[in-house]
Amino acid sequence: MKISIYEDNERLSQLLCMLIEATEGMQLLSSYGDCLEALQNTQLNRPDVIIMDIDMPQKLGTEAVFEIKSKFPEVKIIMHTVFDEDEHLFESLSKGADGYILKKDSPTRLIEAIREVLAGGAPMSPFIATKVLQSFRKQSPKDTYSLTAREIEVLNLVAKGFSYRMISIELDISVETVRRHIKNSYQKLHVQSGPEAVAKAIKEGII
């Protein structure tokens, strides 16, 4: 496992280097105090994993992550930072970071994270993982207005310009059944016409 480190705190950088060098199966390629040439360094050294701080001088670690991932998506990047706010977390993940470990975590956790990310995982500090889960839970599910799967299917075909007869052939149901599904959809969506039903279904993300 070839590792590169980006950390502007000299003392912490030295400790991380010692930690990597003392771990069997891991090879320290280099450590840097800024990430101004992170893309060039990655191209030259081809690390398996990069440990990246966020608050780096002159250029943020998140910017470097985006640059590296754009050219070398196979390189795994773990953010190693003091920041536990949503803003930094989700920006890092959106830029392509593969993991997010807080500096207050034990050194052992960082070593575990390196192994985990190379095994295809997405290592995160427990506190960070909880934030990610909470974020997903806050996303309210779309309101389907109690439409059945078949009613949604019929609306999809109406949106594509299918006639009642074409829908009946496509779904192998009678024209009368198609009419019933559409009538039920009108009532559930609180609309009066086909175009209005389709427009509302699209707006609400149902179809």
Confidence of residue 131 (pLDDT cuts 50, 70, 90): confident
Confidence of residue 139 (pLDDT cuts 50, 70, 90): low
Q: What does R_g of the chain's alpha carbons equal in angstroms? A: 26
Instruction: Give this prediction's pTM.
Output: 0.66
8 Å CB contact between 98 and 122:
yes
Long-range contacts of residues 84-93, Cβ cutoff 8 Å, at least 24 apart: 84/125, 84/127, 84/128, 84/131, 86/131, 86/135, 88/54, 88/62, 89/128, 89/131, 89/132, 90/135, 91/62, 92/54, 92/61, 92/62, 92/65, 93/132
Question: What are the chain's domains?
Answer: 2-138 (3.40.50.2300), 149-203 (1.10.10.10)
**Up-side HSE of residue 18: CA atoms within 13 Å toward CB?**
7
Confidence of residue 132 (pLDDT cuts 50, 70, 90): confident
pLDDT digits (tens, 9 = 90+) for 164-182: 889 999 999 999 999 899 8
pLDDT digits (tens, 9 = 90+) for 8-60: 999 999 999 999 999 999 999 999 999 999 999 999 999 999 999 999 999 99
